[in-house]
Amino acid sequence: MNIAMIGTGYVGLISGLCFAEFGFNVTCIDKDKNRLNALKNGKMPIFEPGLEDLFNKHFFTTKKIKLSNQMSPAISNAKVVFITVGTPTRRINEDADLSAVYDVAKEVAKNITNYCVIVTKSTVPVGTSRKIKNIMTRYIKGTNFDVASNPEFLREGSAINDFMRPDRIIIGTDTKKSEKILKSVYRPLYLTETPIISTNIETAELIKYASNSFLATKIAFINEVSNLCEKVGANIQDVSKAMGLDKRIGAKFLHAGPGFGGSCFPKDIKAFSVTAKKHKTKLSIVDAVNLSNKNRPIEIAKKIIKYFPKKSKINIALLGLSFKPNTDDIRDSTSIIIGNKLIEAGFKICAYDPKSMENAKLKCKNFSFANNVNDACANMDAVIIGTEWNEFRALDLSKLKRLVKKPVIFDLRNIYNPDDVKRIGWEYVSIGR
Ligand code: UDX
């Protein structure tokens, strides 16, 4: 079976390569020629563990992946066409910007010559796939087609593993034929007994937003509980662990920190709320999560600023700039929000991140940058651990203490044991402990 992926961003590239790994012939289409040329020279547009190896395997060796900036002939040869272009937040009303999705729908319609299933894999508000169908019907010339929704749940940093070993696959269709075709695309996962949930199209679209919003709610909830822990002398890690042992609650996404960031949660909760409002209903919990998470890094920055009685000439080492470990993505990174707030208060920031420095240098013009942890921390008044990269989990804190001006750590990811760090002579501030 031939598959076409339209958009070689995070979702399109990873999903395309994983379908090639399943054995399908995949054409990844993108109108950005520079991006495609870089890929053809083996240069990955993002850092993602395992991506480069999988790309080299299927582009250079098996040749199951092709790259093209043209819809034709890939679209007319494909049985399944996945739309995987971006759906960023609109500035005016926080809704998802679907212009790229609808442009693609129009172009696909103009290029179809045989029956195929057009699948939205981009995260799109409920109702979008129906609109795609309407647009395509207007532009298509006599060919039969179906639309479907097949949301992805990939996490940056572990996306390939998530694709290969998903918790579930959601297939939203309105014909038996398209359901059967989409199920066959995921047949390799039958071996691992992955649950495949067939729904109507609207349900599939909604499952994605409800899932992301629920996970975001867990994080915002535990973050607020961590504030209370600080006031009453309780320990958030013990609270999370004990709560998580209740199978009805589950242990995951109960790790308190500086707030959630990234390209999905902040964008998706806003779009979910806008969808509800459009349908004259309310998602007041999602709205509260959005507000809580917006304030979270600002409150943490205030806490750090308050720690220093004198606000001038304070130099801070900021370790970790990506929104989470194992990615170079800095979109909505709480480290960067906090760094900027400290700069506004007159502090100076020297930052280091194992993978996202190039991206950060373009965005954070007021930061200075160091090439490693030691250089970032030399002569600093405090060290902030903003992202829980493995590299920061076992720092030689005795050695580091001799390098800094003042031994103060703000561990925003609770990766150290407070007693151990204090014993070495650091002042240690963490979250909810
Ligand atoms: C998320 C969803 O998990 C994934 O299913 C969806 O397809 C895309 O959005 P991702 O954004 O890659 O994935 O990262 P995720 O691991 O979910 O973390 C999101 C944010 O929440 C990060 O900033 C992370 O640091 C934060 N987080 C996560 C917490 O603060 N505490 C937690 O317990 C878990």
Q: Residue 64 contacts by C-beta under 8 Å, 6 or more apart in sequence?
A: 20, 23, 24, 25, 26, 58
Of 290, 319, 336, which residue constitutes the final position of a domain? 290
Taking CA atoms, 132 is separated from 135, 140, 396, in Å, by 5, 12, 55
Q: How far is the CA of 155 from the centre of ligand 1 (A)?
A: 7
Co-location of 184 and 251 in the same domain: no
pLDDT at position 142, please? 86
> Which amino acid residue places its CA nearest to atom 25 of ligand 1?
324
pLDDT at position 82, please? 98
CATH number of the CATH domain containing 216: 1.10.1040.10
Taking CA atoms, 210 is separated from 125, 151, 207, 218, 273, in Å, by 11, 12, 5, 12, 10
Of 237, 263, 290, which residue constitutes the final position of a domain? 290
Helix/strand/coil (H/E/C) assignment for every residue in 259-303:
CCCCCCHHHHHHHHHHHHHHCCCCCHHHHHHHHHHHHHHHHHHHH
Given a contact cutoff of 8 angstroms between Cβ atoms, the answer to whether 367 and 388 are in contact is no
Taking CA atoms, 196 is separated from 92, 161, 193, 270, in Å, by 37, 17, 9, 28
Given a contact cutoff of 8 angstroms between Cβ atoms, the answer to whether 100 and 6 are in contact is no
In a domain, 243, yes or no: yes
Mean pLDDT over the full length of the chain: 96
CATH number of the CATH domain containing 371: 3.40.50.720
Structure tokens at 128: 């979008």
Q: Residue 221 contacts by C-beta under 8 Å, 6 or more apart in sequence?
A: none
Per-residue pLDDT averaged across 407-433, rounded? 98
Ligand 1, from 324, 334, 385, 412: best to mutate by most atoms within 8 Å of Cβ?
324
Range of the domain at 239: 209-290
236-281 pLDDT, tens digit per residue, is 999 999 999 999 999 999 999 999 999 999 999 999 999 999 999 9
Query: Of all atoms in ligand 1, which is nearest to the CA of residue 253?
Result: 33
pLDDT at position 319, please? 98
Co-location of 284 and 298 in the same domain: no
Co-location of 194 and 220 in the same domain: no
> Which amino acid residue places its CA nearest to atom 19 of ligand 1?
260
Co-location of 405 and 268 in the same domain: no
pLDDT class of 94 with cuts at 50, 70, 90: confident
Per-residue pLDDT averaged across 98-122, rounded? 95
Q: Which of 18, 116, 229, 264 is catalytic?
A: 264
pLDDT at position 433, please? 95
Query: Of all atoms in ligand 1, which is nearest to the CA of residue 323?
Result: 23
pLDDT class of 122 with cuts at 50, 70, 90: confident
Co-location of 315 and 283 in the same domain: no
Co-location of 160 and 255 in the same domain: no
CA distance 262 to 155: 10
pLDDT class of 311 with cuts at 50, 70, 90: confident
> Which amino acid residue places its CA nearest to atom 20 of ligand 1?
260
187-215 pLDDT, tens digit per residue, is 999 988 999 999 999 999 999 999 999 99
Co-location of 10 and 32 in the same domain: yes
Of 247, 273, 290, which residue constitutes the final position of a domain? 290
pLDDT at position 412, please? 98
Co-location of 60 and 109 in the same domain: yes
The DSSP string of 221-270 is HHHHHHHHHHHHT--HHHHHHHHHTSTTT-STT----S---SSSHHHHHH
Residue 118, H or E segment: strand 116-120
Residue 394 reports pLDDT greater than 90: yes
pLDDT class of 89 with cuts at 50, 70, 90: confident
pLDDT class of 145 with cuts at 50, 70, 90: very high
Q: How far is the CA of 4 from the centre of ligand 1 (A)?
A: 28
Co-location of 174 and 256 in the same domain: no
pLDDT class of 167 with cuts at 50, 70, 90: very high
Number of domains, the chain: 3
Chain position carrying tokens 């079976």? 1
CA distance 71 to 328: 30
Chain position carrying tokens 């561990």? 411
pTM: 0.96
Percent of the chain with pLDDT over 90: 95
pLDDT class of 342 with cuts at 50, 70, 90: very high
Give the single-character DSSP code of 112: -
Given a contact cutoff of 8 angstroms between Cβ atoms, the answer to whether 1 and 184 are in contact is yes
Give ligand 1 pocket residues (Cβ under 6 A): 152-156, 212, 215, 219, 253-255, 257, 260-262, 264-265, 323-324
Co-location of 357 and 399 in the same domain: yes
Residue 83 reports pLDDT greater than 90: yes
Residue 95 reports pLDDT greater than 90: no
- Is 229 assigned a catalytic role? no
Co-location of 176 and 31 in the same domain: yes
Residue 93 reports pLDDT greater than 90: no
In a domain, 204, yes or no: no
For residue 278, the tally of other CB atoms under 10 A from its CB is 13
Residue 432 reports pLDDT greater than 90: yes
pLDDT at position 251, please? 97
45-77 pLDDT, tens digit per residue, is 999 999 999 999 999 999 999 999 999 999 999
CA distance 54 to 17: 7
CA distance 13 to 10: 6
- Residue 101 φ/ψ, nearest 5 degrees: -65, -45
Per-residue pLDDT averaged across 377-401, rounded? 98
Helix (H, G, I), strand (E, B) or coil at 428: strand
Q: How far is the CA of 260 from the centre of ligand 1 (A)?
A: 7
Q: How far is the CA of 275 from the centre of ligand 1 (A)?
A: 22
Q: How far is the CA of 423 from the centre of ligand 1 (A)?
A: 33
Co-location of 180 and 306 in the same domain: no
pLDDT class of 377 with cuts at 50, 70, 90: very high
